[in-house]
Amino acid sequence: MRSRGSSHSRPSRRPRDNSPLQYGDRIGPYLITGFAGRGGTSYVYRARRQDSFEPVAIKVLHPRFVDDARKRRKFFREARLLLRMEHPNIVGFREILDEQDHVAFVMDYIEGATLDTWLDRHEGGLDESTLIALFVDVLRGVAHTHERGIIHRDLKPSNILIEHSGGRLRARLIDFGVARQADRPLRRDELDKIEGTAAYISPEEIRDPETVCRSSDLYSLGVVMYEAACGRRPFEADDSSRLFAAHTSQTPPSPRACQSDLSSALASILLKALAKRPVSRFGSADEMIEALERAVRRRIGERTRGEFAVEEVVETQEWSRDDETPAREQPEWTSDEAERLPLLMWLEMALTVVLSTGHTGRDNDPHHLSRDHSPDLEVPQV
């Protein structure tokens, strides 16, 4: 159905400093067994309890931030949000560790690969029903976070983990580092910052963070789905300010112009998710799930053509609102293309959403749970 350019490769990345924990080190009752990744303020390790061989993932605040009250507060906020959630499409939380030298929290270890890596490994293409099934999984996790009053605010391919479980693929949400409670008022310093990933950020996050809502997550997920289905993002630019302007004012290219074999039903869903105003998007994650399930049943098969290279994954950052916010909003663009085309009933495809994506391969990447702020990161071997 879709194709990602195989010629694209990410540059070599090297860490700015050494990991504070090494193989065999102990933190609380856990023994470090490997390195999984790093972000701007934390590291993620593979580990196991000293009295067990069951693997876990431990996210550890960087030692230089242990005495920073703001960083500690933000770090523990993520842990508390994870503590409130329990769902098969969200990484599982276990416990908080607060010691003299280490601040950390423990999660389930998931054997799998992030969505961006996983799609690169399947550059030959996925059928549309498989792709839809994966995103129904993601939306189930999103629906659960919204039911708990939590907005993720940083949905992107590197924050979606794909694992092979029980004979099928399962998608899980990871990294709630910039998530917020929907009913919590923003502090003054939060009003002055645009926090997130420029390529996937919602228009309201750019214009006015107080208006960020559950629909903002659906917009970001719409960008991710567009990228997965079309092989490119709807908006691409070299700097954050141009991306912000595109999200708030530019019309996204027609999905079927980018990927001709995309069904009109799925193309219509993508455009609705990318509406500039929250009120014009889907009313909830559950409503978007229903639309995707209908698209599976109504799927129109067409010939596959074209290859599109995918740009390097951009990282979560903070920007100054005064410097980066676009001045005005332009009208959104919607499509009724699906209503004008004949639709065929593929009832058997509906089972794909519930039972399996059709893929039985196994991915062995370590559990990635943190954002990387360094453009030259390379995961060290331990």
| Pair 129, 349: CB distance under 8 Å | yes
Contact partners, residue 229, CB within 8 Å, separation at least 6 = 1, 2, 128, 131, 255, 259, 262, 266, 270
- Count CA atoms within 13 Å of residue 251 on its CB side: 7
Taking CA 339 as the corner, what is the angle to CA 336 and CA 342, rounded to the nearest 5 degrees? 140
Residue found under tokens 């919607």: 334
The closest alpha carbon to 30, from 50, 44, 55, belongs to 50
| Pair 371, 315: CB distance under 8 Å | yes
Q: Where are the beta strands (DSSP E) in 99-229?
A: 103-108, 112-114, 150-151, 160-165, 168-173, 180-181, 193-196
Residue 175 backbone class (left: φ over 0; alpha: ψ -120 to 50; beta: rest): left
Taking CA 350 as the corner, what is the angle to CA 348 and CA 352, rounded to the nearest 5 degrees? 95
Contact partners, residue 208, CB within 8 Å, separation at least 6 = none
| Catalytic one of 120, 127, 154, 365 | 154
The closest alpha carbon to 332, from 282, 287, 271, 285, belongs to 271
Residues 6 and 8: their CA atoms lie apart, in Å, by 6
The question of whether 154 is a catalytic residue gets the answer yes
Residues 259 and 325: their CA atoms lie apart, in Å, by 31
The closest alpha carbon to 309, from 2, 1, 58, belongs to 2
Q: Is 307 helix (H, G, I), strand (E, B) or coil?
A: coil
| Run of H or E residues at 340 | helix 337-340
Where in the sequence numbering do the catalytic residues fall?
Answer: 154
